[in-house]
Amino acid sequence: MISKQIILPLALSVGGTLSAEFVLVSDDFGGSSADSLNGASADTFNSAVASAGGSATWVAGTEFNADGSVDNGNTKQTAYLGLGSYVNDLKGSEDAIFTLEATMGINGSGSNGDRLTLGFFRSELPSYSIDGTFYTNDRGALTFNLRESNAGSESDVYVGYGVDGGHNVGTYSGIGTYKFTTIVDLSTHNGATDFGSVSFYLDDVLLGSTYDIAYDLDFSYVGFTNDNSGGGQLSNFSLTQVPEPSAYALMAGVLGGCYVMLRRRKA
């Protein structure tokens, strides 16, 4: 009985630590609508990403605000965080599995083409400054694009770049707010014939299928782009890493060792 009283809390503690350690970036955008997102710091920024050259400071256009709201200036702008070489360096390793997630909603302007996009950016991005979008070209990687269509009566969802140019994966009635989740598996990446795979989820429902990544993509930056007349809202932004199997094996070994020691003491 004593061993159970000790082992269970230890398992919960170690398991919780494993989970918490692999939150790479998160931001709930708890600032003010009167303040710019530019120059603000992400709520969570893992030290390993910082050591790889990443930056916790948002670089953002004037339409992105610290509370996650996006103004309707009708310009193409970007908000991003630097990941340095962290993701790129892990390509081909067993722990190169990442989940990018955010909630996005377009206010709607009654016109076609208003967009908010979530995704990664390649390393050349700073040369484009903060004026530009990445939903139709290779400035971005594995982008998840919410687009107002049919004079504001519908929402289109696209995925791309990096999955053979992109796909329209759904049309939805009205202009709404959705949870966007991108799961990127780079564990099989070999740089020649296999560049990994990606799955896109809308409100936790898989869209289309799991796609093979078509190119050797660059994951130096992560964030959003905006191209709309109606504005929008961002929330619950995070990038997490799935703990590698060896981490769980280590946990099992630690717990097993504790159990053996307790059994010996009891005997």
The half-sphere exposure of 66 on its side-chain side, counting CA atoms within 13 A, is 14
Predicted local distance difference test score (pLDDT) of residue 118? 92
Predicted local distance difference test score (pLDDT) of residue 66? 98
pTM for this entry: 0.80
Alpha helices in 77-166 (DSSP H): 86-89
The angle at the Cα of 26, spanning 197 to 231, to the nearest 5 degrees, equals 90
Fold exhibited by the domain 24-242: Jelly Rolls (2.60.120)
Predicted local distance difference test score (pLDDT) of residue 222? 94
Predicted local distance difference test score (pLDDT) of residue 261? 47
Predicted local distance difference test score (pLDDT) of residue 37? 97
What is the DSSP pairing of strand 177-185 with strand 69-70? unpaired
pLDDT along the chain (267 residues), means of 10: 47 47 92 96 98 96 94 82 96 96 83 80 57 60 79 72 62 79 96 94 89 88 82 95 60 46 51
Predicted local distance difference test score (pLDDT) of residue 259? 44
Eight-state DSSP code of residue 126:
G
Domain definitions of the chain by residue range: 1-22+245-267, 24-242
Phi and psi at 17, nearest 5°, equal -65, -40
Q: 145 by DSSP, 3-state: which? A: strand
* Burial call 197-231: b when 16+ CB within 10 Å, e when fewer: bbbbbbeeeebeeebebeeebbbbbbbbbbbbbbb
